[in-house]
Amino acid sequence: MRASDVLEFLRKPHFCPEVSFLYDMKNAAREAEDPGTLIGLPSLSWCGAWSGNRMENLTNVIAPKIVGEVQAIFTWEGGDSVSGLAIKHGKVAECEVVQTLKLPDGW
């Protein structure tokens, strides 16, 4: 994600939940000499208060600005539901999460 995008999103009050990967990118974005400098995503953390209510900001506004490829699984409060998000050079898809059990050879 470009440094200028990180800083733009962080200037918007109540845009992110209390825990967001954007906060982890803030210092690198501020220190970048060129606003177009790409800042690596340390994680795709998105949790805490208002994380569900702010999910549309992530999927519709923030994720399209991500350069590269990310595949993430979100476990929602209580762990009773999961959702998937795939991002590839700004293209975003919400995905079904399929869990399987891989048995040992010869089982």
* Residue type at position 31: E
Residue 94's nearest CA partner among 62, 68, 60 is 60
Locate 80 and state its tokens: 């009773």
Tell me the per-residue pLDDT of 63-77, one tens digit each, with 9 for 90 and over: 999 999 999 999 988
**Where do the structural domains in the chain lie, given as residue ranges?**
3-95
Rg of the chain over Cα atoms, rounded to whole angstroms, equals 16
Can you give the pLDDT at residue 80?
Answer: 83
Distance CA 96, CA 44 (A): 18
Distance CA 104, CA 37 (A): 45
The pTM assigned to this predicted structure is: 0.88
Tell me the per-residue pLDDT of 52-104, one tens digit each, with 9 for 90 and over: 899 999 999 999 999 999 999 999 887 888 999 999 999 999 999 998 899 99
* % of the chain exceeding 70 in pLDDT: 100
Q: C-alpha angle with apex 1: 64 to 20, nearest 5 degrees?
A: 85
In the block, which residue shows the tokens 């949790």? 47
Q: Where are the beta strands (DSSP E) in the chain?
A: 19-20, 46-47, 69-75, 82-88, 91-95
The answer for residues whose C-beta is within 8 angstroms of residue 101's C-beta and 6 or more apart is none
